Structure 1
Amino acid sequence: MPDNSLSKNPFLWKWFVSNKYHFIFWTVFIFYEIVIVGLYAGQFGEPGRYIFHYMINIGIFYCHANLVLKYGLENLKSAIWKVPLYLILETIAFLLVMYIAYNYVNRYTHIITIKEVEINRTFFLGGLIRALYFIVFGTAYYFLVTFFKERKKTENLEQQKLHNIIQLAKSENAFLRAQIHPHLLFNTLDFIYQNAKDNSPVAAETIVALSEMMRYAADSNYKDEFVLLGDEIEQAENLINLHQLRNGHTLQIRFWYDDEVKTEQIIPMVLTTLVENIFKHGDLSKLEQPAEISIIKTENSLELKTKNLIKPEFQQGKRSGTGMDNITKRLSYTYGLNANIKSYIDDNEHFNVDVAIKK
């Protein structure tokens, strides 16, 4: 059972449990230095001396590992001067604490040792050696912890990648199960189009746009991993046209891109999903605040940006759907750290999505 004083303080007990291996290590280490070395040398020091020295020894150990190396190696370019400077400063601080403790505190109270300690060159040399001793231990501890953190990060990335593969496989299987005789569906739509084009041109145009989009979505599962961005743009324009037909061409939306971006390659259904997200959650009725879609090609990246006024029912954080999550997972799986997607609501209640893919 834990000590009552610790168990009554959940935070303190949690901290103690999370650092139990530190306590075990220092207990074993101090036992070794005091008992084994004391027996070997044939003498032991006063308790106050042990308490004081191990407090500052452990202090410089963690100071070096958690402060000096952490911030000194934060930027490799400046590390060449930061680490030596921090090392000198912590050593000076260590010696200064020893000097003040022995020259002022112990001289009048003798809480460290009953003997008078001579403050001379040997005193400082011994303190310097002790400081370097624990600095070396602190350095080893820092790199050991860093190694385990990096290994844990790598394991998490591998697990996330495996999870994405499983989810993609599940999505593909679900699509295949739902794909019942797609050619029959397309032939039926073509039949309806042929019969509607003379009597209802708007309905016929809607059927064509819908048919092309469904055929593209179905065929994308059997194509290579990447498609031409021009094909994605064509389907996005079909989607826009379809919604405009349904709403009598009253929707306020702008689509900007240069023809040179059409030759770029991208994973399928990214742009189409972003555009569909606009129609699902966006308010496209205001002439002065149209939705915007832009594709920008730079020397080092390809950027897809959307911006739209949010519908009133979604302004209080009630947005739903899996489109954005799906895009994020697919980009992460395919491009890794070379792709970044950011979504946010600006001060004017516009929902923005920025996708950047490094070349």
Structure 2
Amino acid sequence: MKKIWQIFWHTCFWVSMILFFVFVAHNSAKISIQAVLIIFGVFGIVNIGLFYLNYLLLIPRFLDLKKYKLYIGAVLISMAAFGLIKYALAFHFWTMMHGQMKHEPLHFVNYFFNTFLTSLIFIFLSIVLQFSIDWFTNERVQRDLENQRLAAELAFLKSQINPHFLFNSLNSIYSLAYQKSDTTPEAILKLSEIMRYMLYESNDNKVDLAKELQYLQNYIDLQLIRFGKKAYVDFEVKGQVTVQRIVPLLLIAFIENAFKHGVANDPEHPIKMIIAVSDGNLSFYMHNKKHLHNRDAVGGIGLNNVKRRLDLLYPGQYKLEIHDEADTYTCELSLIL
């Protein structure tokens, strides 16, 4: 089907070009319609034949394979052969219209030189077309490869989130179970809800902002259970959450960091998180006091992960500022949804 459409559009182009030149020549030069049809019809078809001989046969067989000498030789032979064909046609029409005895015969050398230049133009046009198609094809292939690479990188980044989150959450539940806390079943249930969202509802490129916020609230609830509900967290959502959508699992790394490295049980310095929604914009603010002895010896991957995802999924559409002071940590993210 694609090849049929190519033939159709090529035919439309050449027919349009021939009709255009026939119309211009007939009206400007006052040449008879018979002569115009011969010049642009018959000889146009011959030149178009040379165009496609080079485009479909000589370029793929010689030029694309970098057989430059063979290609130049084949082009010159083709131009000479088509020049002889055009001369034979021109001589035929010349004698038919003027008669051999009344006018000087068509001069072979002059005509062959002129038609050689015409042939060279059609050869050049076919090369330009082929190189243009190759360029656009290569651009499309490169773009597809780049998209595949980015998709693979995003999939890898997202695959890092689940084990990282699960590792931290299981550590929290292990602490509850070790302490034989009555809240262990509730924590497991909350973790089950979180994992259900991560496994089944966050597979799309974007999810409803309302679902993502509920996921964050579930994570905070799980941490409150872990701290025996003695953690102090101010989590506030401002603005109207309606049909906005966001890349899933984007903000969780910041919140994880707050609980992992921050002081959560100080009523005078609660972990403060504010999400403000306005039309198609979202701003996220988080501030917490740092727990200097609560360091992860392995080092987290969360923040580097989220920065890379922001670069890939929101290029030029976000602003991230992180202030990592000696005893406090502040994060501010502005995002165009």
Query: Normalising by the residue count of structure 2, what TM-score does the alignment of the two structures yield?
Result: 0.46
| Bigger Rg, structure 1 or 2 | 2
Structure number with greater CO (CA < 8 Å, separation at least 6) is 2
Query: Normalising by the residue count of structure 1, what TM-score does the alignment of the two structures yield?
Result: 0.44
